[in-house]
Amino acid sequence: MLPFKRLVKKQLGELLMERGVITRSQLEKALQVQKEKGGLLGQILVVLGFTKEEEIAQALTIQYGFPYLPLKNYELNKEVLKLIPEAVSKQYCLIAVDKIGDTLTVAMSNPLNTKAIDDLEILTKCKVQVFVSTLTDVNNVLEKLYGKDKKPKEGAG
């Protein structure tokens, strides 16, 4: 897996400011939180209430060229979903969306996680194509598929 090449050389925070999504003071506060506690800047901005997950996903789309796929109304193929074990989907916060030939398409909240992509390629013996989705969208699908704490969930799937 090659490192991702930025299409836009700007940092995520700069891009969000340029698009009018956040202010400089909001970015500085989020960067301070990141410095103190760690974590992904986009998630920190969302937790602080400065932006929505969709804005972060769309900024990543601009920054790296990943396509954005909202999962809310997306019809998932049950056979394709089975290609990635539940534990792996939950660990990396991703969902298998489609498979054509030896290319597996996944939607994930952190498309820059090269370890996840490398692991998937080894596990599935497929090339992995990445789409960006929000953490909430992916978690909602995982919840619908597997429920919380392995308890059977009525109406799922």
Confidence band of 7 (pLDDT split at 50, 70, 90)? low
> pTM score > 0.85 for this model?
no
Please tell me the distance from the alpha carbon of residue 107 to that of residue 117, in angstroms, as a whole number.
11
Question: Which strands form 127-132's sheet, in the order they lie side by side?
Answer: 94-100, 103-108, 127-132
Structure confidence by residue, pLDDT tens digits, 105-150? 999 988 889 999 999 999 999 999 999 999 899 999 999 888 865 4
Q: Where are the domains of the chain?
A: 12-64, 78-147
What does each C-alpha distance from 128 to 13, 61, 104, 106, 151 come to in angstroms?
27, 17, 5, 7, 30
Q: Can you say how many angstroms the Cα of residue 66 is from the centroid of all Cα atoms in its chain? A: 10
Structure confidence by residue, pLDDT tens digits, 13-62? 998 999 899 999 999 999 999 999 998 899 999 999 999 999 998 888 88
Which string of DSSP letters, residue by residue, matches 49-81? TSS-HHHHHHHHHHHH-PPB---TT----HHHH
Any idea which fold 78-147 has? GMP Synthetase; Chain A, domain 3 (3.30.300)
pLDDT average, residue stretch 76-97: 92
Would you state the pLDDT for residue 87? 94
